[in-house]
Amino acid sequence: MLMLSSCRHEQKVSNTLGEPDIIPVKISTLSELTMPDKITVTGLVSTEDEAKYSFKIGGVISRIFVEEGQFFKKGQLLATLNATEIAAGLAQSSLGVEKAQRDYDRAVHLHQDSVFTLEQVQNTKTALDVAQKSREGTAFNERYSKIYAASDGFVSQKMANEGEVISEGMPVLLINSTQQPNSYLLKVGVTDRKWAIIKPGQTASVMLDGYPHQPFKAVVFRKSQTADREIGSFQIELKLQLNGVRPAVGMFGKGEIETHQDQRVTVIPYGSLVEADGNKGFVFTTTGTNRVKKVPVTILKFDNENVYLSDNLDGVDQIVISNSAYLNEQSTIKVIR
């Protein structure tokens, strides 16, 4: 929350006859200027490639070799299932192949002796083929009872622990790939109007909370084509140019996207703004010779001296720039130079 008040003020004029105090104020005319239209966004650091690693088959998790936040290399073993049941299944399928092979060999010899018919030989051959394919499937599943890293990256979340019984395809590790040096992103949410203005390729400047004095360049990488169902905003991804810095995934960041468009803004002195809350606030304008009126304004941005408003303030020619903190719409004022 942003609370602003004027530090510079003139002394009130006290009235000893019980009449309302007359508050001396200074006034100023409004000014406008044209400035580049920048869209301010906030979001969290992520990476370009996220994946949920899981086992192809179910079972009991035997070992998980990495912890949350730990980096790993491509091909590194990350987790394994208990091999007892898997090994038993593989041995059983191998025994089935051996039996089917013996049955087929026996059928061939008996067919040569005119004891077995051709159909019986063909049936044993089919049984052998089925047993071999079953063993291949079991061997394939056995290879996927271990999780290996498909690329360099780090673990952003452990979704299961050793000793847990999991079903096939259930996520075990949520990982972020760092295979590319520029794979870090700032994922931000914007309104539909801002989404329509933002285009891929537009440049941006980003500040990360973990590096408060180090601005980073960024570029609009991609924009979602559907709104987030939970929060209703559209996601924009900014690709960060970190120059060797590795921020933590989930770190908060704030950015300004250059839209390459100009906008007209109203400029007022910093001290004229009162009751500011977020991007809303108020200013006082004079009515008649000694009265004021409170006018709501929308704050676009501000610096140490000025506040930039997105409002045109139609019908307002001048505003109060001193002693604003002491005013309300029942105040009596005296304009001083």
> Considering 215, 238, 262, which residue would you say is the last residue of a domain?
262
Tokens standing for 211? 């590096």
* Higher pLDDT pick, 271 / 239: 239
* Confidence bin at 6 (pLDDT 50/70/90): very low
Whether 87 is in a domain gets the answer yes
Q: Are residues 313 and 230 part of one domain?
A: no
Specify the CATH number for the domain of residue 274: 2.40.420.20
Q: How many domains does the chain have?
A: 3
* Confidence bin at 188 (pLDDT 50/70/90): very high
Whether 151 is in a domain gets the answer yes
Q: Are residues 117 and 98 part of one domain?
A: yes
Q: Are residues 111 and 31 part of one domain?
A: no
* Confidence bin at 200 (pLDDT 50/70/90): very high
Q: Are residues 208 and 167 part of one domain?
A: no
pLDDT in tens, 126-165: 999 999 998 888 888 888 888 999 888 888 889 999 989 9
Q: Are residues 54 and 171 part of one domain?
A: yes
Whether 11 is in a domain gets the answer no
Per-chain mean pLDDT for the chain: 85
**Separation CA 40–CA 45 (nearest Å):** 16
Q: Are residues 321 and 206 part of one domain?
A: no
Q: Are residues 172 and 67 part of one domain?
A: yes
Whether 278 is in a domain gets the answer yes
* Confidence bin at 109 (pLDDT 50/70/90): confident
Half-sphere exposure of 159 (CA within 13 A, CB side): 15
- The DSSP line for 151-185 is SSEEEEEE---TT-EE-TT-EEEEEEE-SSTT-EE
* List of residues 6+ apart from 31 with CB closer than 8 A: 266, 267
pLDDT in tens, 201-217: 999 999 999 999 999 99
Specify the CATH number for the domain of residue 202: 2.40.30.170
Whether 92 is in a domain gets the answer yes
Question: pLDDT at residue 176 above 50?
Answer: yes
Question: pLDDT at residue 3 above 60?
Answer: no
3-state secondary structure string across 292-334? EEEEEEEEEEECCCEEEECCCCCCCCEEECCCHHHCCCCCEEE
- The DSSP line for 86-112 is HHHHHHHHHHHHHHHHHHHHHHHHHHH
CA 187 to chain centre: 3
| Tokens 């409170």, residue located | 294
* Higher pLDDT pick, 329 / 218: 218
β-bridge partners, 274: 282
Whether 10 is in a domain gets the answer no
Whether 198 is in a domain gets the answer yes
| Tokens 């539909």, residue located | 192
Question: pLDDT at residue 1 above 50?
Answer: no
pLDDT in tens, 35-87: 777 888 999 998 887 889 998 888 899 999 999 888 889 899 999 988 888 88
Q: Torsion over CA of 262, 265, 270 and 275, rounded to 10 degrees? A: -120
Quick one: pLDDT at residue 17?
52
Whether 284 is in a domain gets the answer yes
Quick one: pLDDT at residue 268?
87
Q: Are residues 150 and 82 part of one domain?
A: yes
Alpha helices (H) in 176-282, listed in sequence order: 192-197
Quick one: pLDDT at residue 240?
92
User: How far apart are the two ends of the chain, measured CA to CA in Å?
Assistant: 33
Under 8 Å between Cβ of 257 and 239: no
* Higher pLDDT pick, 176 / 219: 219
Quick one: pLDDT at residue 219?
94
Q: Are residues 171 and 58 part of one domain?
A: yes
Q: Are residues 214 and 65 part of one domain?
A: no
Which domain does 301 fall in, by range?
A: 22-35+263-335
Helix, strand, coil percentages (3-state) for the chain, rounded to 5, are 20, 45, 35
pLDDT in tens, 296-329: 998 888 887 888 888 778 778 888 888 888 888 8
| Tokens 């530090």, residue located | 7
Q: How does strand 59-64 pair with strand 234-241?
A: unpaired
Quick one: pLDDT at residue 214?
92
> Considering 117, 148, 176, which residue would you say is the last residue of a domain?
176
Q: Are residues 312 and 293 part of one domain?
A: yes
Most distant CA atoms of the chain, gap in Å: 135
> Considering 132, 148, 176, which residue would you say is the last residue of a domain?
176
Q: Are residues 142 and 67 part of one domain?
A: yes
pLDDT in tens, 228-253: 777 778 999 999 998 888 888 889 99
Alpha helices (H) in 7-82, listed in sequence order: none
β-bridge partners, 335: 25
Quick one: pLDDT at residue 4?
43
β-bridge partners, 14: none
Specify the CATH number for the domain of residue 89: 2.40.50.100
Quick one: pLDDT at residue 7?
43
Under 8 Å between Cβ of 235 and 225: no
Quick one: pLDDT at residue 64?
93
* Higher pLDDT pick, 249 / 257: 257
